[in-house]
């Protein structure tokens, strides 16, 4: 639901969770099918998918496929090749594979990868941080596309709780790392503040407008797609690259 996404981007996680759950109940009660989205034209030739799968295969082979010893192992001898599992790296590969499978509309395969990523991230939640919430959000989308609305709602709620704990109320989790990105492009603190306030203010203003409109609307209006302008970090990055290129 576009309204829940808008609340998400201004860090109103409880509101986002409530609106999304309401939408999923509506889809379930009226036995609606998820909209047919076109397959995204991402990695059409499958090159990135093959490379990511190869990276995961090499990682697993290194740890489990030969005579290597996995730390901790009390039987390790001097000269043995010793490798330690990197759960965060492995989870990231599964997360990326899930996204690539989603782009190809292979939802059941995407769900398997997202679930594996979550399990691995949960082995080191402190280091994983926001990434667990990101994958939960992707899993919610996958369940929705599969028509599992209750599971989608549960995954979305989990993501909101993680964002509230890790990112904090009133903060946009999708903007996490934006300030460091701006600093990399040589912008001073005052300019960074102006940019982040401008982006956040536009979304907040949009939320207030929706809240005012919703007071005058019927219950069914909560489920209609509203025209919202959401933050597009990719567009921000592209704009910054253009600015620095001109300079």
pLDDT exceeds 80 at position 181: no
- Which of 25-29, 87-91, 222-226 bottoms out in mean pLDDT, i.e. has the lowest? 222-226
pLDDT at site 196: 59
pLDDT at site 61: 85
Query: pLDDT higher for 180 or 225?
Result: 180
Give me the residue label for tokens 């999923």.
Answer: 24
Cα–Cα dist 119/135, whole Å: 11
pLDDT at site 38: 64
Under 8 Å between Cβ of 190 and 197: no
Nearest Cα to Cα of residue 49 among 93, 112, 115: 93
Contacts of 105 (CB under 8 A, 6+ apart): 37, 39, 145
pTM: 0.73
pLDDT exceeds 80 at position 236: no
Interior angle at CA 69, CA 119 and CA 59, nearest 5: 50
pLDDT at site 189: 67
pLDDT tens figures, 218-228? 344 343 333 32
- Which of 98-102, 138-142, 213-217 bottoms out in mean pLDDT, i.e. has the lowest? 213-217
pLDDT tens figures, 65-78? 644 444 445 555 55
């Amino acid at each position: 639901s576009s309204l829940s996404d808008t609340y998400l981007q201004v860090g109103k996680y409880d509101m986002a969770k409530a609106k999304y759950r309401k939408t999923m109940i509506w889809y379930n009660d009226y036995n609606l099918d998820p909209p047919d989205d076109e397959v995204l034209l991402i990695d059409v030739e499958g090159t990135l998918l093959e490379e990511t799968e190869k990276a995961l295969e090499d990682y697993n082979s290194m740890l489990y496929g030969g005579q290597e010893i996995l730390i901790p192992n009390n039987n390790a001898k001097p000269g043995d090749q010793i490798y330690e599992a990197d759960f965060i790296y492995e989870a990231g590969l599964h997360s990326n594979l899930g996204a690539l499978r989603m782009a190809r509309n292979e939802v059941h395969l995407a769900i398997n990868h997202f679930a594996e990523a979550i399990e691995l991230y949960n082995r080191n939640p402190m280091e994983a941080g926001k990434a667990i919430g990101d994958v939960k959000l992707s899993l919610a989308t996958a369940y929705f596309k599969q028509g599992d609305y209750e599971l989608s709602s549960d995954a979305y709620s989990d993501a909101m709780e993680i964002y509230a704990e890790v990112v904090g109320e009133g903060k946009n989790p999708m903007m996490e790392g934006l300030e460091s990105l701006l600093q990399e492009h040589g912008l001073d603190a005052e300019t960074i503040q102006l940019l982040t306030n401008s982006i956040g203010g536009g979304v907040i203003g949009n939320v207030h407008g929706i809240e005012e409109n919703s007071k005058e609307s019927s219950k069914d209006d909560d489920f209609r797609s509203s025209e919202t302008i959401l933050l597009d970090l990719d567009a921000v990055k592209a704009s910054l690259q253009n600015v620095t290129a001109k300079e």
